[in-house]
Amino acid sequence: MNSERLNNIELELSTLRKSVRRWRAASWMLLIGAGLFAANAAGPTVLDHLVVNRIDVLGAEGTPVVSIAQTDDGGRFDLYNHSGVNLLRLSGTSSGGDLAVWDDSGTNVAGIWSTPNGGTFSLWNQDGEELSQFASGALTLSGANASLHIQNEFGLPVAVVASDPSGHGRFQIADRDGNVVSEMRMLPGGGGGVVVNTSSGKKMGVLAASDDGGLLNLYNAYNIPIFVASTVGDTGGGALSIANQRGISVATMKSDEEHRGFIEIKDEDGNGARRMRPLRGYSP
């Protein structure tokens, strides 16, 4: 009888222990749940100080997309795409800071960094060829399509410095609507020139250089040169030619082979020339 009673007591004690363990586990779960709920309500956990050698954030492919690390010259911050290509790097160098940008094929296309002489900014194309550099106060543009545009408040270019298809330099000034009204460039078969246009694109004047000397052309509204100032190729003297509205020369003034003045006046068809020269040995 006593043995049976002892067995019942032990069974009850075992059951009680199991019940106590279950209540204890349930109590801990409730406490943890209450703590998480309170933390979520209060906001994310804030750490005052975190010390690590490197931090990598992994993307869906399991490769780093963000990396924070240290180098011999300081800290480094890198961004990668999901293929593992480095797209951006911000780092410390022996001369200061360095920011590099790559495209999705891994070609360096932009960079800004410090040097012992100051800052440098460079751009490259998709083949890695440097197209522009701004360093030590000088801006360098390279390539067939290199150009510098200055825009007005309407977003239209009003000043352009560029190279033409032949590799010559070109400088353009435009009005507020973006119409080129003057241009400095190389002229075919000559040298440097200045072309002046109206806002509608009509050429009104050209000042050019040639092997024989300077040349000035003024045009009418029909793009016909009506005033030409140039040098006389065989003598090296000056010459002025005035044309009518049809482009026919009706008056000429120049220096002749003997370095004297010469005036020629014609009719509306360029005929009936009347010439004037100084009288030999005459002195007023």
pTM over 0.75: no
Instruction: Supply the range of the domain harboring residue 222.
Output: 147-276
Cα(165)–Cα(168) distance, rounded to whole angstroms?
Answer: 7
Which amino acid, 40? N
Reported confidence tier of residue 135, pLDDT bands at 50, 70, 90: confident
**Average pLDDT over every residue of 171-184:** 95
Same domain, yes or no: 159 and 206: yes
Same domain, yes or no: 159 and 107: no
- 168 contacts 190 by C-beta, under 8 angstroms: no
For the chain, first and last CA: distance in Å?
A: 168
Digit-coded pLDDT (tens) for 31-84 = 666 665 665 665 666 777 878 888 999 988 888 999 999 998 899 999 999 889
Same domain, yes or no: 156 and 267: yes
Same domain, yes or no: 156 and 265: yes
Residue 282 belongs to some domain of the structure: no
Same domain, yes or no: 21 and 72: no
Number of domain units in the chain? 3
Reported confidence tier of residue 211, pLDDT bands at 50, 70, 90: confident
Task: Say what the pLDDT of residue 257 is.
Answer: 80
* Closest by CA position to 170, among listed 182, 184, 180, 181: 184
Task: Say what the pLDDT of residue 273 is.
Answer: 85
pLDDT reading at 208 higher than 70:
yes
Among the candidates 138, 171, 199, a domain finishes at 138
Same domain, yes or no: 132 and 154: no
Among the candidates 138, 155, 186, a domain finishes at 138
Same domain, yes or no: 69 and 130: yes
| Residue 262: strand pairing partners | 254
Q: Residue 131: which CATH number? A: 3.90.930.1
Q: How many residues does the chain have?
A: 284
Same domain, yes or no: 96 and 166: no
Residue 47 belongs to some domain of the structure: no
Digit-coded pLDDT (tens) for 215-267 = 999 999 999 999 999 988 677 789 999 999 999 999 999 888 888 888 999 99
Same domain, yes or no: 152 and 267: yes
Same domain, yes or no: 238 and 162: yes
